[in-house]
Structure 1
Amino acid sequence: MDVVRWIFNQYAYEGMGYHKIASELNQRQIPTQKGRTWSASTIRAIIFNEAYIGSKVWNKQDYQTKGKKWRDRSEWIITENAHPALITKELFEQCQTVAKQRNNGGGETHKPFGSKPISPFWLRGIMVCDKCGSRMVGNSTSTRTKSGGQRYYYTTPIYDD
């Protein structure tokens, strides 16, 4: 419980992000509840988990259709004060505000599976190789860099039997 409060406080008031918090916990050799090492995604899941303010949330996903489909938040069933809170609602809300500021308006609790980001390769399928006539597709080098890596177009070779 103290670890959870520490995570929320570091994120809300100390300017630490998901990666830095996970790194600090791992450096201190504090395991997760399951005895594993911390990751940024684990920290993010904690920051957005309303269970820590005593709420229980149902109906987030639609399991009737093929694949998991996130429902709109207006369809969620939220029971407040379902159990004792580990942190205050004010601290939780402060973390949500920080998340939105850090992500330029982001900080969503989920991304619906139906929404796809706009591809940076908007010329894919339109550009054609002048040598072989194949349509070009987009690719990029490592996206772990801040700029997202180098983007380029290429064709796949056509083999005649």
Structure 2
Amino acid sequence: MAAEGTSFADITRELNRQAIVTCDGQKLSRGDQVQFQRFDTIKKKHWSATTVAAIVRDEIYIGTRIWGKTRCSMHTGHKAVLNDETEWVRLENHHTGIIDRELFKKANEMYPKKRRMVAESRTNFTLERRKKQSALMICANCGHSLLKETEHLLKCSDARTNGDPVCRSLVIRREPLEENILGLAHQYAASMLEKGKKASSKRQCEYKEINTAELQKQSRQLTSEKMKLYDDYKDGRIDRDLYKQRAEKISVQLEKIKRKIEDAENSKKLLEQNELSD
């Protein structure tokens, strides 16, 4: 079809119309992994003009194996950069081709590939541009990316080739969408702050439990000390005035501890009630 002058977009529409399984779809059916990281988010797998163009121009189908399309970059910090085509290493007749060379040549003469700039600067430019792009937004119908149609409108990137009437009729105004996204971001931030408060409250409950246990331990020690003091007075080891003086002092300490335990338990109950309510 490409050799006959059919555009890549029209070829794509025909593949989608016939519901021919995409390349990644075939890989998944065989249990292979796919490189497209967002493939699982796409609800409807369709062919794209980019994929069709890559297949038409791929010399692997005429039996030519190519190495050296990219190289590792040790100084840019990126995994790899593209090489200029003059640096590629070609091995003709590496394997049996499945496409006739004349047909391949004719198809590519109809749609010559644009000459790329020096790969490294282009790659760096692309990476820098991606860093500045807004948050990724996808079509709710098919899962493909939304692209800016005009300054104020967004459309599904797959609408022109998949033939889906829902995607083709989908037009979204950018300003209300951005306001909604900003509102969701505010809600998420508020929920995270609230989550932090709950975590803090939980830590306070745990601290109250530890503090209450320590206070109860002190209360038992003072009560035991007061009973021992009474035994000393009863056996005549201390006189009445000394017993009375020490006993009152212990009683005051016990009363303070009792109030602290009550306050801690009340605070703990209040925190638990608030957490349950939330």
Please indicate the TM-score interval, normalised by the length of the shorter structure: 0.5 to 0.7
| Count of residue pairs brought into register by the alignment | 106
Q: Tell me the TM-score normalized by structure 2.
A: 0.34
Give the Cα–Cα distance (whole angstroms) in 1 for the partners of residues 116 and 106 of structure 2. 18
Change over 3 Å in CA distance of 1:26–1:48 after alignment to 2: same
**Which one-letter code corresponds to 1:49 in the other structure?**
D
Give the Cα–Cα distance (whole angstroms) in 1 for the partners of residues 73 and 82 of structure 2. 11
Contact 2:83 2:120 in 1 (8 A): no
**Which one-letter code corresponds to 1:11 in the other structure?**
A
Structure 1 match to 2:114: 108
Change over 3 Å in CA distance of 1:96–1:45 after alignment to 2: same
Q: Which runs of 4+ in 1 moved over 6 A?
A: none
Give the Cα–Cα distance (whole angstroms) in 1 for the partners of residues 24 and 96 of structure 2. 21
1:90 positional shift: 1.2
Structure 2 match to 1:56: 65
Does residue 86 (structure 1) correspond to residue 98 (structure 2)? The answer is yes
Change over 3 Å in CA distance of 1:22–1:82 after alignment to 2: same
Structure 2 match to 1:29: 19
1:69 positional shift: 1.8
Residue identity (%): 30
**Which one-letter code corresponds to 1:20 in the other structure?**
D
Task: Specify which structure has the higher proportion of helix.
Answer: 2
Contact 1:53 1:85 in 2 (8 A): yes
The 5 A counterparts of 1:10-159 are 10-13=1-4, 15-35=5-25, 36-65=45-74, 66-67=77-78, 68-100=80-112, 107-108=113-114, 112-115=119-122, 141=151
Q: Tell me the TM-score normalized by structure 1.
A: 0.57
Structure 2 match to 1:136: none
**Which one-letter code corresponds to 1:79 in the other structure?**
L
Change over 3 Å in CA distance of 1:113–1:20 after alignment to 2: farther
Change over 3 Å in CA distance of 1:69–1:76 after alignment to 2: same
Q: Secondary structure at the match of 1:12?
A: coil
Contact 1:48 1:109 in 2 (8 A): no
Give the Cα–Cα distance (whole angstroms) in 1 for the partners of residues 97 and 54 of structure 2. 17
**Which one-letter code corresponds to 2:84 in the other structure?**
D
1:64 positional shift: 2.9
**Unaligned runs of at least 5 residues, structure 1:** 1-9, 101-106, 117-139, 145-161
Contact 2:63 2:97 in 1 (8 A): yes
1:75 positional shift: 1.4
**Which one-letter code corresponds to 1:46 in the other structure?**
I
Q: Secondary structure at the match of 1:34?
A: helix
CA deviation map 1:102-157 (0-9, x unaligned)? xxxxx1375535146xxxxxxxxxxxxxxxxxxxxxxx737x9xxxxxxxxxxxxx
CA deviation map 1:69-95 (0-9, x unaligned)? 221222111111111101111111112
**Unaligned runs of at least 5 residues, structure 2:** 26-44, 126-149, 156-278
Change over 3 Å in CA distance of 1:16–1:41 after alignment to 2: same
